[in-house]
Amino acid sequence: MNLLRETWVVFVRALRLSLRNPVWVVIGLIQPLLYLALFGPLLKRVVEAAPSLPPGDAWKIFVPGLLVQLGVFGTSFVGFGLIAEYRAGVIERMRVTTAHRVALLGGRMLRDVLVLLVQAVLLTAVAIPFGLRTSVSGALLGVATVGLLGAAFSALSYAAALRLKSEDALAPLLNGIAIPLLLLSGILLPMTLAPTWLQRLSDLNPVKHIVDGLRALFRGDVASTATMWGLVDTIGLLVIGLYVGTRTFRRESA
């Protein structure tokens, strides 16, 4: 009970800070919209010319990819905000209170997930005039999956930030992980276009299966194996994120 109340206090505080300085929220939103407007038309041609692509039109391939990109990239950088708070003494100040350590993490994660969900819904809605045709339930499930994915990366980002306590160390770490993850996930173009060795490599990447799952959802294949694997991998990442995150926040002098 206390945990929920404390999580709520941390969440509201974090949300207030985001709304007061919405630059990052807006940048996170504009970026996928630019992809939609400037890269989408290009992709449409490619998809039409490539018979090896999975069924579904270009937007059903492209929008799920953008959503996953938003989920991974948008939330990976939340750790920078935490380092700023740490520098200001906010984390220490909250650590001397009776608040549950998990609330200090959970409240911030909830804010990140909420911001992400708003961005994801907007992105999907804006894609409709571009030509996206998908089932409402499929899209909603897709957006929800992205929310869970974002929660995982937000927790991991906070854990890394609290361990490193330095922007200069966090930035290369995040780029070093997020960029290969995205390149090997077939976000822009499905991995079925890749040579075999690249496909094998990308099979090891959970984000690839999540993108595939999301594409199945947008096609309306809610009960497919692709959907299932996407969900399993999302939940797996979330479990890892929560484990590492709570462990880090509980650590001495974290």
Partner 1 sequence: MITARALSRTFQTRTGTVEAVRGIELDVAAGEIVGFLGPNGAGKTTTLRMLTTLLVPTAGEATVAGCDLRRDPVGVRRQIGYVAQGGAAYAEALAGEELVDQARLYGLPAARAAEQARILFTQLDLDGLWKRTCKSLSGGQRRRLDIALGLVHSPALVFLDEPSTGLDPQSRANLWNHIRRLREDLGTTVFLTTHYLDEADALCDRVLVIDHGTIVAAGSPEELKRSINGDAVLLTLADRAHAEDARRIVAALEDAGSPATDGNQVQVRVPHGASVLPGLLRDLDAHGIGLAAVEVRRPTLDDVFLSVTGRSLRDDSLVA
CB 109 within 8 A of CB 154: yes
Sign of the alpha-carbon torsion through 196, 198, 203, 208: negative
Which one of 26, 97, 133, 180 is in contact with partner 1 (CB under 8 A)?
97
Q: How many whole angstroms separate alpha carbon 129 and alpha carbon 144?
A: 22
Closer by beta carbon to partner 1, 17 or else 42: 17
Residue with tokens 């939103």: 29
Which one of 37, 88, 122, 128 is in contact with partner 1 (CB under 8 A)?
88
* Two structure tokens written together for 187: 């976000």
CB 107 within 8 A of CB 9: yes
Which one of 9, 33, 117, 189 is in contact with partner 1 (CB under 8 A)?
9
Residues in 11-30 at the binding interface with partner 1, rule: CB under 8 A: 12-13, 16-17, 20-21
Q: How many helices (H) and strands (E) does the chain have?
A: 12, 0
Our finding on whether 90 is near partner 1 (CB under 8 A) is yes
> CA 21 from chain center: how many Å?
21
Residue with tokens 């520098």: 87
* Two structure tokens written together for 230: 């996407």
Stretch of residues binding partner 1 (CB under 8 A), selected from 83-91, 173-181, 190-198, 232-240: 83-91
Closer by beta carbon to partner 1, 45 or else 250: 250
- Could you tell me the smallest distance in angstroms from the CB atom of residue 88 to partner 1? 5
- Could you tell me the smallest distance in angstroms from the CB atom of residue 99 to partner 1? 4
Q: What is the DSSP string of 131-151?
A: T----HHHHHHHHHHHHHHHH
Stretch of residues binding partner 1 (CB under 8 A), selected from 57-65, 80-88, 153-161, 209-217: 80-88
Which one of 36, 63, 94, 242 is in contact with partner 1 (CB under 8 A)?
94
**Site residues for partner 1 per CB under 8 A:** 2, 6, 9-10, 12-13, 16-17, 20-21, 84-85, 88-90, 92-99, 252-253
